Amino acid sequence: MAEAFSPGDRVRARRADPPHHTRLPRYARGAVGTVVERQGSYPLPDDRARRLPAEPEPVYTVRFTAAALFGEGDHTVTVDLWESYLRPVAEAER
């Protein structure tokens, strides 16, 4: 599967709260961060947990500022996210 994002890209984590297992942490949902690194491809845990066919999908290291996640704080949090958890951020939103 071709990778949709590159290091430096701004991405928004999905807001959806799925009714099944996911590895998108709740605190990151809806937040905008920056892709730091590509990790390679791994089966999507949301599908594996439901015994659905899970093709390997790119995983990215994404860095968020504490301000973007929690509205305060001076640290950053780096989260590992599957590609389908992410959406590109439109130029206007940056």
Partner 1 sequence: MSGDHTGQAATLAARVRHLEGLLERRGLVDPRELDRALEAYLAHASPANGARLAARAWLDEGFRGRLLADANAALPELGLSMGGGLQEQRLKVVENTEDSHNVIVCTLCSCYPIALLGPSPTWYKSEAYRSRVVRDPRGTLREFGFALDPAVRINVWDSSAESRYMVLPRRPAATANLDERALAARVTRNGLIGVAPV
Both tokens of residue 40?
């390679």
Does residue 19 belong to the site contacting partner 1 (CB under 8 A)?
A: no
Does residue 81 belong to the site contacting partner 1 (CB under 8 A)?
A: yes
State the nearest-atom distance from the C-beta of 82 to partner 1, in Å.
Answer: 7
Does residue 31 belong to the site contacting partner 1 (CB under 8 A)?
A: no
What does the chain come to in residues?
A: 94
Of the candidate spans 3-11, 35-43, 47-55, 86-94, the one that interacts with partner 1 by CB under 8 A turns out to be 35-43
Interface residue list for partner 1 (CB under 8 A): 23-25, 27, 39-40, 42, 59, 61, 63, 66, 69-70, 73-82
